Structure 1
Amino acid sequence: MIEMTPTLERATQVAQHMASRAAHADRQGKLPVEDVQALREGGFFALSIPTDQGGLGLSLHECVAAILALAQGSASSALVAVMPLHVFGYAREIRPWPEPMFARMCQAALKDGALFNNVASEPMLGSPSRGGSFETHARPHPSGGWVVNGHKTWTTGGRHITHMLVRLQIEDEPGLMLVRQDTPGVTWEETWVDTLSLRASDSHDVYFTDVAVPAEHLLERGGQSGKTLPNAWFPLLLAAAYLGPAIAARQAVVQYALERVPSALGKPIATLPKIQRQIGEIDVVLQAAQALLFEVAQAWTGEIAACQSLYPRVAAAKHFAIETAQEVTNKALHIAGGLSITSALPLERYFRDVRAGSMQPPSGDTALEIVGRGVLGV
């Protein structure tokens, strides 16, 4: 049982409002401004900011619970909230950037409701987790600072992002620069309107054309970030974002089974042993996936020695959550029958949204290899 904290209660309330807009947002392929504003006013872009910077410093466990609640209302909007939470949560553990700049970033999120996101994927590169060099690049500006040119994909939040952490090349070295959304030369192409999953997440393409970046906005160059800790924030928050729609699908199909009375049966289909068994199968795997997710998130402390050994369980929790979400939403379609593939029920949207979880790291065989190496000790 998860404790009902003020943050979780607020997330549950916001999720209810987001749910009322989710179907329309999905049809329009557009992130609702109201969702972004609700997340901003609720402080969900800053939950993981450390206490020494004036933030709440919520644990990974508490942030996972908040995202799980939000995702039951809208997976697309919950994914937008995932991005700054993992940025600040991981950064507070490893402190990779100059402290003055980190402080400015924290204050922007806390006081102004700034929305941060990592901007890394590219058309030719694919997922940055697979390695390779970025085509987006920075060169020195004649009068100081940098000039950035390039093209990034899958930039969740789109124009609602205020601060982009752009992965790029500086000569023959990788780097990271902070680029504000309102900088001249930043343009967007709306490529995400009719995708299979998360149509309302505004995960569009962004272009940088001779974008001037101040010198102090260079956050990392080469290996100077000093990262020594696996990142559990991103995979576990993603797991929550995709498990949320599966929980919503379970709730929707249960309600449907209680209300659906075929004329040939004369009573709700919930009275049929077959339906009861299928609902039971859904509930068992959901309970298991949530239990593993929360157990691993609670065990994550940010301490190097403990986290190195725990990371295989992080990969396991993320993998199991995604597999469970896909299994549950698939079974929900079968239980509800033909009506489930129409917009009369939200089940087809839940089914589509969770498919994107397989594309985000660590995914598939990679996750299982991490788990296997942990077991084998190699």
Structure 2
Amino acid sequence: MTTLTDLNTMEERLELMKETVKPFKQRGEIHDKEGTFPFDNFNDLKDIGYPALTIPKKFGGMGISLCEMLKHQEIIAQADGATALSIGWHMGITKHTGENESWDHTKFQAFADDVKKTGALMNNAATEPATGSPTRGGKPETTAAKSGDGWIINGRKTFTTMAPILSYAVVSATIEDSDEVGNFLIRRELDGVHVDETWDSVAMKASGSHDLVLENVRVAADDLIGYLTPGKKAPAGWLLHIPACYLGIAKAAQEYATKFAAEYSPNSIKGTIAELPNVKEKLGEMELRIMQSSGFLYSVAAKWDASSDKVRASMKAELGAVKVSVVNQAVEVVDLAMRVTGARSLSAKNPLQRYYRDVRAGIHNPPMDDMVIMQLGDHALNRME
């Protein structure tokens, strides 16, 4: 079987991805309806070596650019949004951690080797019932207590996307008898780690975003992989996987509505509804929003790829603006697609109703609209100084 690492150009890799995800669209309907996790999709992505694609070259990976990663994510999302959003966390975190050498070199190399060999997947587990989103600055109630030459971790994390298939979770925990918050690398097979299947959202139903429960989980001293200051986040280009996902969903909705308009011919008119001015206007509005979103997303991603660390450190407002703009325009595109299609878009058999539910999840992914708009206000004011 051909894998992504066998191919020399981005264009070839994107073509392989397009072929790989073709079954995801039909599976997406099934997994959404049944509330099941798409293990089949993830196995297909593992078979072509996708989870290892963002491992930096210095750790033996392909080290693809941010732009290429987003293009892959968009392709996956056009077929199944839940799969794209889910694996996007692994792809982005792996890229960010490796490029910045956030962990001990040997520790990350061992993780990278596992990803290359087995397709192992990782996600952060930071959100908690009492603290809400970690972007709001809440201190985790999950605790880490020193025990001999290691640590004992106790707590519950919500919204742990990909929980059914994760091999690793990076868990934030308050270190007892201190004001520090640490990030701990937790392996799925450790005693005391289990998943409580709490995910009942009507959006992204197949993302498996269950609770991760940690009961007296013993980890080694070197599994403390870093410290963090709650609420203090440096600009992170990899988070653009979020708007890329919702842009992909919007494109899927646009494609469905455009095809429907070009083919649907009620007996009350001659030709198809695509020839009606009010329908053509909606198709044009969708196209405009897609063009604007694509241009904004990939221009900022290209800037990130080409910039120094100093320039990247100044890009927080731009990155947040991309997320807010692309996600909200994606919501509008899906709404327009449903207006073109009419009441049949609300049928349980129609994919538009799933796109409608899934795309609205983006509003609740970080960074949040209000925080970004406030940052943009500060950004504008700073130019006047």
Equivalence for 2:182: 175
Cα distance between partner residues in 1 of 2:258 and 2:68: 27
| Residue 149 of structure 2 is aligned to residue 129 of structure 1 | no
Q: CA deviation at 1:241?
A: 0.8
TM-superposition CA deviations, 1:187-215 (whole Å, max 9, x none): 112122x4121001101111001111122
User: Does 2:195 match 1:191?
Assistant: no
Select which of 322, 325, 328 maps to 2:330: 325
1:34 alignment partner AA: D
Report whether the alignment pairs 1:305 with 2:315. Answer: no
Change (3 A) 1:221 1:316: closer
Which of 96, 102, 109 is the matching residue for 1:90? 96
Q: C-alpha displacement at 1:4, in angstroms?
A: 5.8
1:229 Cα deviation from its structure 2 partner: 4.6
Residue type of the alignment partner of 1:329: V
The 1-side partners of 2:238 and 2:313 are apart by: 14
Deviates more, 1:69-78 or 1:183-192: 183-192
Stretch deviating more after TM superposition (240-249 or 360-369) = 360-369
AA matched with 1:103: Q
Q: Distance in 1 between matches of 2:233 and 2:173?
A: 21
Does the alignment pair 1:265 with 2:240?
no
Query: Within the alignment, does 1:337 sit opposite 2:328 as a pair?
Result: no
Pick the aligned partner of 1:62 from 54, 68, 76: 68
Give the Cα–Cα distance (whole angstroms) in 2 for the partners of residues 177 and 91 of structure 1. 14
Report the counterpart of residue 377 of structure 1 in structure 2: 382
Which aligned pairs between 1:249-264 and structure 2 lie closer than 5 A? 249-264=253-268
What percent identity do the matched residue pairs reach? 33
Of 51, 54, 58, the match for 2:57: 51
Task: Name which of 292, 295, 309 aligns with 2:299.
Answer: 295
Q: Secondary structure at the residue paired with 2:324?
A: helix
In structure 1, what is the equivalent of residue 207 of structure 2? 201
- Per the TM alignment, residue 10 of structure 1 is displaced from its structure 2 partner at its CA by 2.1
For residue 368 of structure 1, report the CA deviation from its aligned partner.
1.7
**TM-score, reference length from structure 1:** 0.94
CA offsets, 1:78-116, max 9 Å, x none? Answer: 112111111122123322211111111111111221101
| Matches of 2:137 and 2:15, distance apart in 1 | 40
Aligned length: 370
Report the Cα distance in structure 2 between the residues aligned to 1:153 and 1:88, rounded to whole angstroms. 21
Structure 1, gaps ≥5 residues long: none
Of the structure 1 ranges 86-95 and 315-324, higher mean CA displacement relative to structure 2 is found in: 86-95
Corresponding position of 1:358: 363
Cα distance in 1, alignment partners of residues 10 and 93 from structure 2:
25
Structure 2 gap segments, 5+ residues each: 1-8
Is 1:15–1:71's contact at 8 Å kept on the other side of the alignment? no
1:222 is displaced (CA, Å) by: 5.5
Q: What letter corresponds to residue 287 of structure 1 in structure 2?
A: M
Contact 2:145–2:151, Cα closer than 8 Å, also in 1? yes
Residue identity in the other structure for 2:12: P
Does the CA-based 8 Å contact 1:159-1:181 persist in structure 2?
no
Deviation at 1:11, TM superposition (A): 2.0
State TM-score, norm by structure 2: 0.92
Match among 89, 100, 109 for residue 103 of structure 1: 109
Counterpart CA distance in 2 for 1:51 and 1:159 is 29
The CA RMSD over aligned residues, in Å, is 1.7
Alpha-carbon distance in structure 1 between the residues aligned to 2:212 and 2:233: 30
Asked whether the 8 Å contact 1:94–1:228 carries over to 2, the reply is no
